[in-house]
Amino acid sequence: MEVRSITTILEETLLDGGRPVDPVTRVAIVVAVIRNPWFGAGFVDDLAPGIAENASDLGALLAPRVVDALGAPVEAYGKAAIVGLGGEVEHGSALIHTLTFGDHLRGRIGATTLLPAVEKRAPAAATFDIPMKHITDATTRSHHQSVEVRLADAPAEDEILVAFAVASSGRPQARLAPFSPAS
């Protein structure tokens, strides 16, 4: 796995809706920019060897960094893969939609729910939103949220951005009624 850069972002929301947020809402994102392991190989029928060589290492690299960056217990989480224009969306999906990637984060924080994701193919500086949900109860509405990310110089044509996002709580000032089957 060839990693060009790692970017860590911490967002703290102190005010929302004109009112103080107490406790402060924290969201951390860690993004690795890697060389696409399938770039230049033409159409690859079997992505499994590239998954085996990269997905677990990526999860092991990113999970501790994002949890440490948050500096608080994790309540919500999500993941992303943005593939440069020389690759396929399937290349990003192959790396993040495997337990060998996601279980590094799930195990570290005691998560049991599906790890929500976004993946797309885009040029450098593309904006993407990482969806997040509660780590143990996907029906907790307050934790259905997203965080916007953009790296000015990535992904290049032969790269993939791979990211984890975590939050210390749900949305600031969340006040929707609890989830019900009719909602």
| Tens-digit pLDDT profile for residues 26-45 | 999 999 999 999 999 999 99
Taking the model in full, what pTM does it have?
A: 0.95
Residue 176: predicted pLDDT: 85
Which run of H or of E encompasses 25? strand 19-35
Q: Is residue 42 part of a domain?
A: yes
Taking the C-alpha atoms of residue 123 and residue 173, their distance in angstroms, rounded to an integer, is 35
User: Which pLDDT belongs to residue 35?
Assistant: 98
Does residue 89 lie in a domain region?
Answer: yes
Q: Into how many domains does the chain fold?
A: 1
- Domain membership of residue 69 (yes or no) is yes
CATH classification of the domain holding 22:
3.30.1330.110
Could you tell me if residue 99 is inside a domain? yes
Residues of the chain whose pLDDT is less than 70?
A: 180-183
Whole-number pLDDT of residue 182:
57
Determine, yes or no, domain membership for 158: yes
- Give residue 84's domain range: 3-167
Q: Tell me if 61 is assigned to some domain.
A: yes
Q: Is residue 149 assigned to a domain?
A: yes
